[in-house]
Amino acid sequence: MHLERKTPFVYQITLTPESFAAFDRHIVRRLSSMLGQYRDQVAYAAMLSLGDAIVYEVYEIARPEVAGELMTGLSIVHPGKVGDEYFMTKGHFHAVLETAEIYYCLRGQGYMLMETPQGDWALEELLPGNVLYIPPYWSHRSINTGDEKLVTFFAYPGHAGHDYATIERFGFRKRVVARNGKPTVVDNPLWRPPEER
Ligand code: PAN
Ligand code: ZN
């Protein structure tokens, strides 16, 4: 456990089975935990009836959740689609909106969909070697558009916290779906501008 450590430490993100043993927490998000997040509810129910597939996993190093610390770990989004919509994370704002985050893509291919409380949106590609800097105020969701796992390393301030409720209710302004086999950005009809919420 890294929570109590007061001296520097090293861990590996080489993705060998042994390197995963270094993490303190392993969170597994399955299809059943994504209720209401995918546009195609019929495809969602049909897929869930066949089994509760893993959509993504998070491996974390435990550190005190206070300003001055950094929360770090790996996010792994599995390949797949619900209807024509790619597997993705739930997505969140940080509870302390004034906190940034870094993502470093190690494997796979996909996108980070981002949005501010005012409704500005952005999409950036996640490809091995890409470092994504997410400034304060931008909510974020990673999306796997490839056919292998999308693996990213993340680091964010210890006191950031997570607000999932806003995204659960309205989703993101955009969705990334497959059209003729290619990732395509479309509007999310359930989204409402802040002044109409
Ligand atoms: C990441 C995310 C991780 C899983 O650690 O928490 O990719 O995504 P959700 O939290 O949206 O389920 C992060 O951005 N932390 O702040
Ligand atoms: Zn975050």
**Residues pairing with 110 in the sheet:** 126, 144
Please tell me if the CB atom of residue 156 comes closer than 6 angstroms to any atom of ligand 1.
yes
Distance 91 CA to ligand 2 centre (A): 8
> What pLDDT does residue 187 have?
97
- Amino acid identity for residue 129 in this structure: G
Separation of CA 72 from chain center: 13
Query: Nearest ligand to the C-alpha of residue 144?
Result: 1
> What pLDDT does residue 1 have?
84
Pairing of strands 54-61, 150-157: unpaired
> What pLDDT does residue 195 have?
92
> What pLDDT does residue 109 have?
98
Full domain range(s) for residue 33: 2-196
Please tell me if the CB atom of residue 101 comes closer than 6 angstroms to any atom of ligand 1.
yes
Domain tally, the chain: 1
Using pLDDT thresholds of 50, 70 and 90, give the confidence band for residue 96. Answer: very high
Please tell me if the CB atom of residue 138 comes closer than 6 angstroms to any atom of ligand 1.
no
Range 42-71 average pLDDT = 98
Using pLDDT thresholds of 50, 70 and 90, give the confidence band for residue 124. Answer: very high
Distance 162 CA to ligand 1 centre (A): 8
Spatial neighbors of 144 by CB under 8 A, at least 6 apart, are 77, 78, 79, 80, 86, 87, 88, 108, 109, 110, 150
pLDDT higher than 90, residue 197: no
pLDDT in tens, 145-195: 999 999 999 999 999 999 999 999 999 999 999 999 999 999 999 999 999
Q: What is the CATH number of the domain that holds 156?
A: 2.60.120.10
pLDDT higher than 90, residue 127: yes
Query: Nearest ligand to the C-alpha of residue 90?
Result: 1
Cβ–Cβ under 8 Å, residues 102 and 118: no
Atom of ligand 1 nearest to the CA of 162: 16
Distance 129 CA to ligand 2 centre (A): 19
Cβ–Cβ under 8 Å, residues 145 and 87: no
> What pLDDT does residue 46 have?
98
Query: Nearest ligand to the C-alpha of residue 30?
Result: 1
Using pLDDT thresholds of 50, 70 and 90, give the confidence band for residue 142. Answer: very high
Best residue among 94, 133, 140 to mutate for probing ligand 1's pocket (most ligand atoms within 8 Å of CB) is 140
Range 121-126 average pLDDT = 98
